[in-house]
Amino acid sequence: MVGAKPPLPPKHVWSIRTKLQVEGRMRDLALFNVAIDSKLRG
């Protein structure tokens, strides 16, 4: 497969965020949020 991958659906983003919060993985959650934010800003 060549080219960009399709974006994660919002449902998947929220499930990943929730899982990281429940597990107390604040560093991973912060990095995930930065990655999503930078992706949205272009």
The residue among 40 and 1 whose pLDDT is bigger is 40
- Asked if residue 6 lies in contact with residue 18, where contact means CB atoms within 8 angstroms, the answer is no
Count up the domains in the chain and report the number: 1
Q: For residue 5, is it within any domain?
A: no
Q: Looking at the predicted structure, is the pLDDT value of residue 38 above 90?
A: no
Split at pLDDT 50, 70, 90, the class of 12 is very high
Cα(36)–Cα(12) distance, rounded to whole angstroms?
A: 12
Predicted confidence at residue 23, as pLDDT, reads 98
How far from 1 is each of 6, 9, 15, CA to CA, in Å?
Answer: 12, 20, 26
- Mean pLDDT score, 14-31: 98
Q: For residue 18, is it within any domain?
A: yes
Instruction: Give Cα 23 to chain centroid, integer Å.
Output: 15
Q: For residue 20, is it within any domain?
A: yes
- The two tokens of residue 12 are 């998947």
The residue among 6 and 12 whose pLDDT is bigger is 12
pTM recorded for the entire structure: 0.75
